Amino acid sequence: MSEQSLASTIVPKSDQANADDLIAAPVTVEILAVKQGDKESPVWIVTSGFEGRPWKPCKSMRRVLISAWGEYGSQWVGKFVTLFCDPEVMYGGVKVGGIRISHMSDIEGDLILSLTETRGKRKPFTVRKLVITAPAKASSAANPYPSEQFTAQLEKMRDSIASGKSTADKIVAYCLTIGTLTPEQEAAIRAPIETPETEEEEIF
């Protein structure tokens, strides 16, 4: 009997991709969507990995992405990156580890960029060219989200949003790990939640 991998047992409980997700090994993922995030993490990237949890690249990695693929997130969709855990990443003077890019598809050759390591200090950062064969692209490309499955799950999705257990962004991100959504399907998820009107009690 073949031995079962234990990598799944150390996946961190979080709503975003973390360096700890990559402790076992680097991961190559396809970019499915790029969304505007919040003040702390202005870019959220939905990928084919991390079970729908978005990757929120740091400023240095955003500079790498923009340098390689351009300044618009729509240009990144359908491309591939290999991500790894860099244990040397510092935060607040402590080594906490961070997600870094080692390889990227759709670049002419290896990239060498000068990135800020610490205040006033820059260091060369190399990104290798990732070659994705045509069959691999076809097999990894997301298929359409099955319409029957979507119809069956839509009410549960909407209830989850209405109850505050989830958000439309999180549900869309999760759906994209299963297949691509039509504009109508995404609109159905994001449609405003209607709350039942309650009659006001008359006061005499």
Six-digit token pair at 95? Answer: 């080594």
Q: What is the pLDDT of residues 78-96, one digit of tens each?
A: 899 999 999 888 766 778 7
Q: In degrees rounded to 5, what are phi and psi of residue 82?
A: -105, 125
CB 127 within 8 A of CB 114: no
Burial of residue 122 (number of CB atoms within 10 Å: 0-12, 13-18, 19+): exposed
What is the per-residue pLDDT for 1? 52
Q: What is the pLDDT of residues 160-184, one digit of tens each?
A: 889 888 888 878 877 776 777 888 8
Closest CA to 61 of 35, 90, 81, 40: 81
The model's pTM is 0.63
Q: State how beta strands 27-36 and 80-86 pair.
A: antiparallel
Six-digit token pair at 80? Answer: 């591939």
Average pLDDT along the chain: 82
Q: What is the pLDDT of residues 108-139, one digit of tens each?
A: 999 999 887 666 678 899 999 998 765 555 54
